Amino acid sequence: MQKLEQIYEGKAKKVFKTDDPSLCIVDYKDDATAFNGLKKGPIAGKGVINNKMSNRLMKMLETKGVPTHFVEELSDRETLVKKVSIVPLEVIVRNIAAGSFSKRYGVDEGVKFDEPVVEFSYKNDDLGDPLLNTSHALALKLATKEEIDTIKTYALKINAILKAFWAECGVTLVDFKLEFGKTPDGKIILADEISPDTCRFWDSTTGEKLDKDRFRRDMGGVEEAYEEIMKRFAEHE
């Protein structure tokens, strides 16, 4: 597979064309950002961890019936994926109150929900990724009703699979963000990444944060937390 010109450079990854128009290569960087790019900094080794963890989680999801963009890991930081047209929705699933949910609704972090919460943000950096509901998404023509239903069904299925897997690793899956894309034949598949950048992971016993919140909140031990969560993952995969 030939790596051709760069199509896009995002905050955490670069995307390259390949000689097959239906495939692209994502290249994971160590760069981290938070608060819509206001806070920036490197997390040494993050790109390698996110690449490997995301690929293995997507492989696991595929075996359980969730279609994903994953094709082949090419190197420590590079992966071949199906090129999709990204649905401009950040799909967030929450099992426990944290982050923006706690802030917006005045709920202490750590309060458990009876049922998972699925919410959408409009993936639009200029607007600061505003929260929206299904009617808003339909009005803005971000996706069709059928596509949104499919996305919600997959998001809940992914949550059930990942929550159970992480519990075996001694990790509580608090919340996470997914992105879905559309293939040329109109199929909705899981894209982007699943990693400590996009999930909140708390040690099930101590509550210690093992994710990007350590960077967002200047808690220190950021690299160590990424290494620890990868170690737990590798031991239980």
Parallel, antiparallel or unpaired: strands 171-182 and 131-132: unpaired
Compute how many other C-beta atoms are within 10 angstroms of the C-beta atom of residue 57.
Answer: 24
11 lines the binding site for ligand ADP (CB under 6 A) = yes
162 lines the binding site for ligand ADP (CB under 6 A) = no
Q: What is the DSSP string of 206-236?
A: T--B-STHHHHTT-S-HHHHHHHHHHHHHHH
81 lines the binding site for ligand ADP (CB under 6 A) = yes
Q: Cα separations (Å) of 37 from 33, 110, 124, 142?
A: 5, 26, 12, 23
92 lines the binding site for ligand ADP (CB under 6 A) = no
Interface pick for ligand ADP out of 78, 192, 211, 213 (rule CB under 6 A)? 192
Partner interacting with residue 99 (select from ligand UDP, ligand ADP, none; CB below 5-8 Å by kind):
ligand UDP
Show the site string, 102-121: x = touches ligand ADP by CB under 6 A, - = not: --------------------
Partner interacting with residue 43 (select from ligand UDP, ligand ADP, none; CB below 5-8 Å by kind):
none
Partner interacting with residue 129 (select from ligand UDP, ligand ADP, none; CB below 5-8 Å by kind):
ligand UDP
Partner interacting with residue 181 (select from ligand ADP, ligand UDP, none; CB below 5-8 Å by kind):
ligand ADP
By CB under 6 A, the residues from 35 to 74 that bind ligand ADP are 69
* Strand, helix or coil for residue 73: strand
Listed as own residue / partner, the contacts of 110-117 with beta carbons closer than 8 Å and 24 or more positions apart are 110/207, 116/156, 116/159, 117/92, 117/93
151 lines the binding site for ligand ADP (CB under 6 A) = no
Parallel, antiparallel or unpaired: strands 23-28 and 188-191: unpaired
Measure CA 62 to chain center: 16
Question: Judged by CB, which is closer to ligand UDP: 3, or 163?
Answer: 163
194 lines the binding site for ligand ADP (CB under 6 A) = no
Pull the structure tokens for residue 222.
């950021």
Q: Cα separations (Å) of 145 from 88, 100, 179, 188, 211?
A: 14, 26, 17, 12, 33
Partner interacting with residue 12 (select from ligand ADP, ligand UDP, none; CB below 5-8 Å by kind):
ligand ADP
Q: What is the DSSP string of 101-170?
A: HHHHHT--TTPEEEEEEEEEEE--GGGT--EE-HHHHHHTTSS-HHHHHHHHHHHHHHHHHHHHHHHHTT
Question: Judged by CB, which is closer to ligand UDP: 18, or 100?
Answer: 100
Report the residue closest to ligand UDP, judged by CB: 99
Nearest approach, Cβ of 143 to ligand ADP (angstroms)? 14
212 lines the binding site for ligand ADP (CB under 6 A) = no
- List interacting residues with ligand ADP (CB under 6 A): 8, 10-13, 15, 24, 69, 81-84, 86, 179, 181, 191-192
